[in-house]
Chain A
Amino acid sequence: MEEHRVKWVLGFGLLVALLLLLFMANIGFGSVSIPFDDILNVLLGEKASRSAYTSIILMSRLPQTITAVLAGAGLAVGGLQMQTLFRNPLAGPSILGISSGAGLGVALVVLFAGNILGVTISGYGLLGHMTVVGAAFLGAFTILLLIVFFAQALRDNTILLIVGIMIGYAASAIIGVMKFYSPKEDVHAYVIWGLGSFSNVSWEHLLILIPIVLIGLVMSLLLIKPLNVLLLGENYAENLGINIRNTRLAILFCTGILTAAITAFCGPIAFLGLAVPHLTKGLFRTSDQKVLMPAVILAGAVLALFCNLIARLPGFDGALPINVVTGLIGAPIVISVIIKRRKMNANG
């Protein structure tokens, strides 16, 4: 037991250190290099040596960094919850079709409005962006309600999982039809949204995103005990006094609002939600959600910051979409986990 404790304390120490380091790096690095003193001064509310630094940090890099932290933490929590609830290592926050729902909402606005009403949303600036965010949130929330409805009717988790995946396919199919009949420019605008970005979130948006993500994270901490018991499967959990139906609804709702809000503001961020729980489980070697949940929150933020930093490395200059980076980092992780699992089963 004590051996574990030491390992866990070291693990948390490492994650917190990485978080601070990458937070500062995200603010410091970019196409304009800013001296460390100036970064500190601006963050502490004092004057920087050049006023441009202040505006770059406060208007661009700080909101982007905070967004990455929120998105990484939120999606990772969603991933852990889905993997635990469905007892499936390949489940992620987008498994239930919620991000497809967001995509459908955005497609309706970007493609449909452009096609039928002759309005190009991308030409409307901030107002247009808010419309996209609203549509994405509405789409994601509609799918979430649908999933919750099915969750109440279906007892079997596996069937619920399949229903979620099918809903996602259906949404993607509708998007496909709309893409097919839309002009190139609109499709391009949709594809750009689909690549994901932490940089389109302003302070006004953060005022909405921060509270939703915080609610989701607090809720996830409150669900630690039932999630732990659910590791044994629903029958054992029920016998141990867990109210399966309510717990499942709470978990779905928690993952749902996190995914809906983050996808609405940042686009569908791939792989983070799937990969971070695996990374964390590998680091902490435990199934205990009391350890994993806070660890996943930290690790999600760390990995999102890391991906965002790579996307902004000199030379790329923000040209590299976030999904390209998360995919390139996430895919090898998922592959290694699958191979490791196979080995474990072969040995067991």
Chain B
Amino acid sequence: MPMDNAVLLQSNDLAVGYRQSGNKSLVLHKDINVQLHRGEFACLLGPNGAGKSTLIKTLSGFIPKMAGKVSVNGKALADYKRNELAKVVSVVLTERLQIPNMTVFDLVALGRTPYTDFFGMLSKHDKQLVKQAIDDVGLSGFANRQLVCMSDGERQKAMIAKALVQDTPLIILDEPTAFLDLPSKIEIVQLLKKLARERNRGILLSTHDLDLALQLADKIWLLAQGRQLEAGVPEDLVLANGFRRFFEKEGILFDNESGSFKVEREQMKTIRVIGKGVEYKWLSHALNRTGYQTTVEEGNYPNIEIDSNANKAYILHQTDGSRHALRTIEDLLLQIRQE
């Protein structure tokens, strides 16, 4: 498929918020300047209450903007007629849909609504698109399955198929993975990235899953209360301390090196760990978690030697010369604490 790198979604000095009773309005964020290109998968990250949902609703045309400009394909969002907009932006939302008697096929077919006739009859072409989309999201063989008999993850995949047959260049998803288990989350985000690339769609996903966003997003948009939205390639944002600043909270630190959060703790004692491989990694993890600093340097601290032979053991040499061989990390931690 040709990669057409045109700007799909663009905002200029956009302000989002809510109209309140009377003539008042509550502006949550202003001066938002972002772009989303065709074929690009962007993740909108931010803590709860940051206004992610409001921004998403504004960009999908659910609520009016407060100021500035939003355009899709070069045309202002507000200038689209209702039925035109349905062919430009499709959405997938957080809500769990429990619709008795509705099958996957029925659900996905509703995505063709902007194209079908007065009674919503499906043409042969429509049916073909629906079947194709069901296959594309990995639900082949599920077409006649009832929605109520499916897992939450499968149901959200069906909603993504609905968005696909709606055949819009822009797909916006508002925390669709919020209530899913980790494997389903990974599957969905991977699927979205693939669809963005292969189908040349612009996909914007709001999510809490920092790890996944860092690994898979082409662009990340960071949004926090009282801050300017920052957008960019994940790595640039990490290097510019973007995540640190956005997720600042007492006792929690974004570790730029590992790209994950660390809980700050007073380090009590240093322990030297000798070994390698997967045992080494998890032993260090356990020691860090329980408040020890680990090192490979020699010095006047306890040593732990990992014996990776047939009789796997952790051998603890205390500074006083005593030696203990322990079978599990649990026993080892207990032993260290006793000293």
Contacts and interface: CB of A to CB of B under 8 A. Distances in A.
Interface of A: 1, 4, 89, 222, 224-225, 228-229, 231-233, 235-236, 238-243, 281, 285-288, 290, 341, 344-345, 348
Nearest to B127: A1
Contact of B120 (A89, A225, A233, A281): A225
Given A225-B113, A240-B110, A233 B144 contact: no
20 contacts: A1-B105, A1-B144, A4-B144, A89-B100, A222-B118, A225-B118, A225-B120, A228-B110, A228-B120, A233-B97, A235-B91, A235-B95, A238-B62, A240-B86, A241-B85, A241-B86, A241-B114, A287-B99, A287-B102, A345-B98
A228 B118 CA distance: 12
User: Size class of B's contact patch?
Assistant: 35 or more
B90 interface: yes
Contact of A241 (B60, B83, B97): B83
A109 to B, nearest CB: 41
A281 B93 contact: no
Contacts of B91: 235-236, 239
Contacts of B238: none
B171 to A, nearest CB: 11
Interface in B82-116: 82-83, 85-87, 89-91, 93, 95, 97-103, 105-107, 110-111, 113-114, 116
B120 A290 contact: yes
Interface string B38-76: 000000000000000000000011100000000000000
A242 B83 CA distance: 8
A228 B101 CA distance: 12
A229 B113 contact: yes
Contacts of A287: 99-102, 106
Interface of B: 60-62, 82-83, 85-87, 89-91, 93, 95, 97-103, 105-107, 110-111, 113-114, 116, 118-121, 144, 148-149, 166
A57 B172 CA distance: 63
Given A225-B120, A228-B120, A240-B110, A341 B100 contact: yes
B113 A242 contact: yes
Contacts of A236: 91, 93, 110
B111 to A, nearest CB: 7
Contacts of B144: 1, 4
Contact of B149 (A222, A225, A238, A348): A348
B106 A288 contact: yes
Q: Pick from B87, B89, B101, B116 the residue with the most CB of A within 10 Å.
A: B101
Contact of A224 (B82, B114, B120): B120
B166 to A, nearest CB: 7
B119 A229 contact: no
Contacts of A233: 95, 97
Given A228-B110, A232-B107, A348-B148, 18 more contacts: A222-B118, A224-B119, A224-B120, A225-B118, A229-B110, A232-B97, A232-B110, A233-B95, A235-B91, A238-B62, A239-B60, A239-B90, A240-B110, A240-B114, A241-B87, A285-B101, A287-B101, A290-B121
A281 B87 CA distance: 31
A290 B93 contact: no
Given A285-B101, A287-B101, A344-B148, A240 B166 contact: yes
A22 B106 CA distance: 34
A280 to B, nearest CB: 10
A243 B82 CA distance: 8
A231 B99 contact: yes
Contacts of B97: 232-233
Q: Pick from B89, B110, B118 the residue with the most CB of A within 10 Å.
A: B110
A89 B98 CA distance: 12
Given A224-B120, A225-B118, A229-B110, A239 B89 contact: yes
Nearest to A235: B93
Nearest to B102: A287
B247 to A, nearest CB: 29
A341 B95 CA distance: 19
Contacts of A229: 110, 113, 120
Contacts of B87: 241
